[in-house]
Amino acid sequence: GVSRGGSASRDASLGKILGPSFAQEAMPDVIEKLIDVYVEKRTEDERFIDTYQRIGIDPFKERVYAANH
C-alpha cells in the first residue's frame, strides 16, 4: 500500500494508508500523481507534510484512484 504523512521528527507520526494497494509497476504513476497534487496545492515554500496536513487526504485519494481503479 501507499502511505503518506508520516514523520520521524520531534512530532513523530505514522503515515496513513491511502487506500487499496497498487501493483509495483503502477507505483511510478501513483507517486507522480501524489507529487502533482502537492505542487498544485502547496503554498510557497510549503513542505509536503505541511500541505498534506492542511488539505487532508481526499485530494490525494481522488487523484490517485480516479485513473488507477
Which is higher by pLDDT, 9 or 18?
18
List C-alpha distances in Å: 33 to 25, 47, 65.
Answer: 14, 16, 10
Q: Is residue 32 part of a domain?
A: yes
pLDDT value at residue 2? 56
**Structural domain that includes position 59:** 24-69
Q: Tens of pLDDT along 10-56?
A: 666 566 777 778 888 988 999 999 999 999 999 999 999 899 999 99
The pairs formed by 44-53 with CB atoms below 8 angstroms and a separation of 24 or more are: 48/4, 49/5, 49/7, 52/4, 52/5, 53/5
Tell me the pTM. 0.72
Which is higher by pLDDT, 67 or 50?
50
Do 32 and 51 contact (CB within 8 A), yes or no? no
Which is higher by pLDDT, 49 or 4?
49
Q: What is the DSSP string of 2-21?
A: -EE--B-STT-BPPEE-SS-
Q: Is residue 28 part of a domain?
A: yes
Q: How many domains does the chain have?
A: 1
